[in-house]
Structure 1
Amino acid sequence: MKNIVVIGGGTGLNQLLRGLKWEKEFSIISVVAVTDDGGSSGIIRNDFEILPPGDIRNNIVALAEKESLLTDLLNYRFKEGFLDNHNLGNIILLALTRLNNNNFPMAIKNLSEFLNTRGKVYPSSTELITIAAEFDDGGIEFGETNIVNKNKPIKRVWIDGNNEAYEQSKTALKEADAIILGPGSLYTSVVTNILVKGIKEAINESNAKKIYISNIMTQLGETIDYDLKKHVDIIENYLDSKLDYIIANDGSIPDFVYNRYKKQGVDNVKIDFYDDRIIQSDLIYFINKEKPIIRHDSTKISKILKEIIIGD
């Protein structure tokens, strides 16, 4: 089996994992960002001083052998009372952390075993770390939510204070046959992991193929007006090494969907440079028929990755 490590955070990574988990030739480990400070995750992080559970929970659910009523229950979000905006799965991870003497990785292991996941989920760090950003205008902001809400061009990002990578995440990266970065928010899902002390070094020490899956659309607060080259340049700059493969969407978006995204201030990520590392394909998948939302097609992505990792 090939050891596959995927690096990211929320929605994009979940979509990827839902396809990858069915590839029997792959042994999957997901290394997840821990700088989220918004919503239910942010409240639990601040009030109980544990890692933000939301993205971790989403990855566990995505890797579950069978998505059923139980996984729907874990994703259930309360909409009233003192639990308003809290997610049941987040609360369960909090409870498991306390039952394990505040050992969050053990809580992840317990929930993963309960759902019989087809892969493992590790945090990039077990420390309560914060991402910081300097904007093009010289302003500085701390925390994912504050950075994104500023909606200003980002000059650079870093981790505020001391931090260290989770040892098992470093080991997984060093032993990987392929390391997949993205899809996901450029700064707050992908780069934030690379910034954790020991992650970049483990990636560069590995003999793995380094693969980047580009976002299909730009993102408010992070990548407005970014085309593919800008995404790639930023990742390679923080990584201090070159990517081996770049997977990018060349599929078209129906006008009624594109125009709705455009009104929100975002655009498609255009392929603005060409070399032999780029693999182009129609990667678009829609959820929500009434108001289509663009996602990556997990089946097509998995097929491409299989050809890259096993086929050559």
Structure 2
Amino acid sequence: MTSDESRARVGEVELCYDAVGEPDAPAMLLIMGLGFQLVHWPDEFCQQLAAAGYRVIRFDNRDAGRSTHLPGRRYTLDDLADDAVGLLDALGIDSAHVVGASMGGMVAQLVAIRHPDRVRSLASLMSTTGRRGAGRTSPRVLRHLFGRRPRTEDEAIERRVRVFADVGSTGFDQDLPELRRVTRLAFQRDPDGREGRRRQHRAVRAASDRTEALGGVTVPTVVVHGTADRMCHQSGGWATAEAVPGARLELIDGMGHDLPPGAWPRIIGALVDNARRADERHLTPPS
């Protein structure tokens, strides 16, 4: 990325973020998933979005990366959604295209539900609505949730490679050198992130079904999901697209619970098309 990391005070927490793209371009806010960090949005992925005409902002959720960690605290996905809006406030941004992946998709949905005036468009990637049975996790993947905490960078890297052998895409090549590089960087940024992940997981487990509330979302919405997603079954994507009026579903054959470079043209194309639909509507005066 071409910019340095910064921090913004948002209520009781500080959020670490960075941005790429022209400062006066429409903002696109990227929200990452459980236990993941801003660096897990690939640099080149963000740069391609910026080249399409957006100011792309990615950040560490509370309890991840270089943002504030909250030992002993409990919070909800609503709190994470309010954090995201607080970051927009801190940056002086009235509204943004909101994109979330996995748990970040749940948070993005809640931003649209709780703060509709702050959302130009919504994109929910590899996520679900909280409806019982939708987006279930394969038992093959669950075993990774109870593994021993990696004590070194090398252990963290090899564990991540094993995890993504199960949850990653089957229809696209994995960029293993990049996976190892980013895992090393994430370990350096947050070497003891396990407890933060557990607190985030409690927030996910405590969340209610958003299906009814999503029926009130009126901004252009796209749902992106892979047919090979073992972490969050594609039924989660179908449920999300069915819940939001007029939502478009981009189902990518062979994509798992990751962002493989081979799928970027489809993913980025879907995000940009959805954002442009919103921008056109935003600029069109009411009749």
TM-score in terms of structure 1 length: 0.32
| TM-score, with length taken from structure 2 | 0.34
User: Computing the radius of gyration over CA atoms, which structure comes out larger, 1 or 2?
Assistant: 1
